[in-house]
Amino acid sequence: MLPIDKLEGIARRYGELEEQLGSPEVLTDRARFSKLNKERSDLEPLVDALSRYRDLEKKIRDDEEALADPELREFAQAELHELSGERGRLEQSIQLLLLPPDPAERKNTILEIRSGEGGEEAALFAADLFRMYARYAERRGWKVEVLSLSESATGGLKECIALVVGKDVYSQLRFEGGVHRVQRVPVTEQQGRIHTSTATVAVLPEADDVEVQVDEKDLEISIAASGGPGGQGVNTTNSAVQILHKPTGIIVKCQDERSQLKNKAKAMKVLKSRLLEAERERQEAQEAATRRSMVSTGERSQKIRTYNFPQNRVTDHRIRLTLAKLDRVIEGDLDELVTALRTHRQAERLEAAGVVVGAPARPAAEEPED
Q: Domain 104-206+315-370 maps to which CATH number in 3.30.70.1660, 3.40.640.10, 3.40.50.300, 1.20.1260.10?
A: 3.30.70.1660
* Per-residue pLDDT reduced to its tens digit, 62-84: 999 999 999 899 999 999 999 99
Determine the average pLDDT of the residues in 159-171: 93
Answer whether 0.75 is exceeded by the pTM.
no
Determine the pLDDT at residue 320. 93
- Ramachandran class of 355: left when φ > 0, alpha when ψ lies in -120 to 50, beta otherwise: beta
Confidence grade of residue 364 (pLDDT, cut at 50, 70, 90): very low
> Could you state, in order of their start, the residue ranges of all structural domains in the chain?
4-98, 104-206+315-370, 208-286
Determine the average pLDDT of the residues in 221-229: 69
Determine the pLDDT at residue 36. 93
Q: Which residue has the higher pLDDT, 125 or 345?
A: 125
Mean pLDDT score of the chain: 84
Q: What is the CATH number of domain 208-286?
A: 3.30.160.20
Determine the average pLDDT of the residues in 49-59: 93
Determine the pLDDT at residue 361. 44
Determine the pLDDT at residue 62. 93
Q: Domain 4-98 maps to which CATH number in 3.90.1750, 3.40.30, 1.20.58, 2.40.10?
A: 1.20.58
